[in-house]
Amino acid sequence: MHVRHVQDRATVGEGSMGSENQDSNRITREYFDSLLIEMRHIDSEIPNTTIRLFGQEFSMPIATAALSHLNGTAENGMAKMAEGARMANALCFSGMGEKEVIQAMCATGAKVIKIVKPHADNATVFAKLREAEEAGAFGVGMDIDHAFSWDGKYDNVVGLPMRPKSLEEMRSFVESIDLPFIVKGVLSVQDAQKCLEIGAAGIIVSHHHGIMSSAVPPLMILPRIKEVIGDRMPIFVDCCVESGMDAFKALALGADAVCVGRAIMPPLKASGAEGVCDKLTMMNNELMAVMERTAFRKLSDINSSVIYHKWSNRQASFN
């Protein structure tokens, strides 16, 4: 039975669309930290963290997030992020960028999923999807949560107008391309159900690093989304994922994999592709260590029976 539990002890900070005490990033971070792990050692062993996603085997359930415009972080930053993911045998998501950017990322040999913004002009969306396919992308998708701005108007991202998309528009994007289509920005059971209806290949549960204040933490809504999705498509979790422990908590509550964004930026800046590879590998090693101390031998074994809410003996379950 799923237990809905709102952490009423959280003290939170400034958000993008609200007052100082409703910052979604801090709420999300504190929700991560409110989850405690039961230890189990008897019959445990070193686990296997390989995962198969969209027909490809990866060494870990940890992917790079759909970051954009990383040249300010490192020269050719997007390509170096992709190269680091390839070195770690991890999936790589990509955000905004011109055709040359996705071409350079795919040229590294990385498995790259290009996330396209909800451009007001659907012709632009279709063109971006085709660009990614022609560049050799592993998959594509859309950032559905970038349709509106904080002031009640339609969003505008670096001068590009955005609009929300209907169910039929989303279906047309999915059907226009022979690649897995991933919907990013799902933070409700309703949107998760609609993603199933349009034939999406996967979803990313995310509030876009605090795009709206008071947003429910991804891990809080995740069990309810898992109940709807089941095993019909992979569920990724984004926002504030910083460690292997964070990854474990997400997997235990129903995710198949996680996306790490801001946590890879310092190592990318310091050491380029090698820094990204080292960070992803370190996080996977941390995940393995938690699996060892909870007696889960493979990713599919992980479940919520070891997760408890701080200050409560209630388990956080999706069973």
At 13, the pLDDT band (50, 70, 90 cuts) reads very low
Q: Measured between alpha carbons, how far is 265 from 259 in angstroms, rounded to an integer?
A: 13
Distance between CA atoms of residues 124 and 65, nearest Å: 23
**What percent of the chain lies above the pLDDT cut of 90?**
88
**316 pLDDT tier (thresholds 50, 70, 90):** low
Q: What is the mean pLDDT of the chain?
A: 92
Cα 256 from chain centroid? 10
300 CB-near residues (< 8 Å, 6+ apart): none
Count Cβ atoms within 10 A of the Cβ of residue 119 and give its class: 0-12 exposed, 13-18 middle, 19 or more buried: buried
**The pLDDT of residue 99:** 96
Nearest CA-CA partner of 257 in 268, 246, 270: 246
Task: Give the pLDDT score at 107.
Answer: 98
Residue 9 has pLDDT above 50, yes or no: no
Q: List pLDDT tens digits, range 72-117.
A: 899 999 999 999 999 999 999 999 999 999 999 999 999 999 999 9
Question: What phi and psi, each to the nearest 5 degrees, are found at residue 65?
Answer: -75, 170
What pLDDT does residue 6 have?
Answer: 32
Q: How far apart are CA 63 and CA 84, in angstroms?
A: 11
Could you give phi then psi for residue 83, rounded to 5 degrees? Answer: -60, -40
Ordered domains of the chain (ranges, CATH): 20-309 (3.20.20.70)
Q: pLDDT tens, 167-206? A: 999 999 999 999 999 999 999 999 999 999 999 999 999 9
pLDDT score, position 312:
72
pLDDT tens for 199-232 read 999 999 999 989 999 999 999 999 999 999 999 9
Q: Give burial (CB, 10 Å; 0-12/13-18/19+) of 259.
A: buried
Band (130; pLDDT cuts 50, 70, 90): very high
**Which pLDDT band, with edges at 50, 70 and 90, does 315 fall under?**
low
- Rounded distance, CA 301 to CA 285, Å? 17
- Give the pLDDT score at 8: 27
Average pLDDT over residues 260-274: 97
Q: Is 57 exposed, middle or buried (0-12, 13-18, 19+ CB in 10 A)?
A: exposed
Query: Could you tell me the pLDDT band of residue 1, with boundaries at 50, 70 and 90?
Result: very low
Q: What are phi and psi of 78, to 5 degrees?
A: -65, -45
pLDDT score, position 2: 36
pLDDT score recorded for residue 181: 98
d(CA 307, CA 310): 10
CA distance 309 to 217: 14
pLDDT of the residue at 314:
62
Percentage of residues in the chain with pLDDT exceeding 70?
A: 91
